[in-house]
Structure 1
Amino acid sequence: MGSIKLENIRVFTNHGCLTEEGKIGSEYRVDLTINANLSKSALSDQLEDTVDYVYLNQVVKEEMAVRSKLLEHVANRILSRIFEESPMVTFAEVVVSKINPPLGGDVEMVSILLSKQR
């Protein structure tokens, strides 16, 4: 078993419940960890024997581009898609963070964490 981590994927997009958030947009950070059996790829040195992190990054960017009111919703879409398209993945955890959220205070970011297991 092994893990692949994509850390600090930065995306500018328009999530949020407020109309202004949909118009103005904000910066987001996404961290993704997946678990899979990486023993074959460790020996073969072949991309088809692993979970391609370029693919994982693309899933995050594509799902983050679809507007959601809630961070939970976009995180769930990311996890669902990874599990539908990557049979090697046995566990995945995603953290979606909104940087400088409009809370009326000095808050660096707000984050949600969702995980899924096969």
Structure 2
Amino acid sequence: MDKIYLNGMGFYGYHGVFPEENKLGQRFFVDLVLETDLSPASQTDDLNKTVNYAEAYKKTKEIVEGKPKKLVETVAEMIAQQILDQFSIVQACTVKVTKPDPPIPGHYKSVAIEMKRCRDE
């Protein structure tokens, strides 16, 4: 299976368990790995036979900058499902959501979750 990577997409959202996270917001970074067969696109040079990166970015941005969620797990799940729903050629989607400088005791560079969702066939 071929892969498309969208790395380090940055957004500002209001997700988190603590009230200050929902009020002040924070940065989030998202990485996507989209698994598909890129042969039709590479052989025809046709954008319609691959994933339009701008559309995948736009969908991710809508979710991360949209309605606040308590858990980044929920945000990642929503992104994966939207990608699979919008792009029928994508067979699997791995989403990594990173929260830099989380408001938890101790000094942490970041926390992140990663999940992979596959198309049911």
Q: Please give the TM-score of this superposition, normalised by the length of structure 1.
A: 0.96
CA distance in 2 between counterparts of 1:90 and 1:61 reads 21
Which residue pairs with 1:34 in the alignment? 34
CA RMSD of aligned residues (A): 0.8
CA distance in 2 between counterparts of 1:92 and 1:43 reads 23
Q: For 1:1-118, what aligned pairs fall within 5 Å after superposition?
A: 1-66=1-66, 67-118=68-119
SS of the equivalent of 2:51 reads coil
Give the drift of 1:31: 0.5
SS of the equivalent of 1:111 reads strand
- TM superposition outliers: structure 1 runs of 4+ over 4 Å: none
CA distance in 2 between counterparts of 1:84 and 1:40 reads 20
Structure 1 unaligned segments of length 5 or more: list them. Answer: none
Structure 2 unaligned segments of length 5 or more: list them. Answer: none
Give the fraction of aligned pairs with identical amino acids, expressed as a percent. Answer: 32
CA distance in 2 between counterparts of 1:53 and 1:89 reads 12
CA distance in 1 between counterparts of 2:54 and 2:4 reads 11
Give the drift of 1:13: 1.1
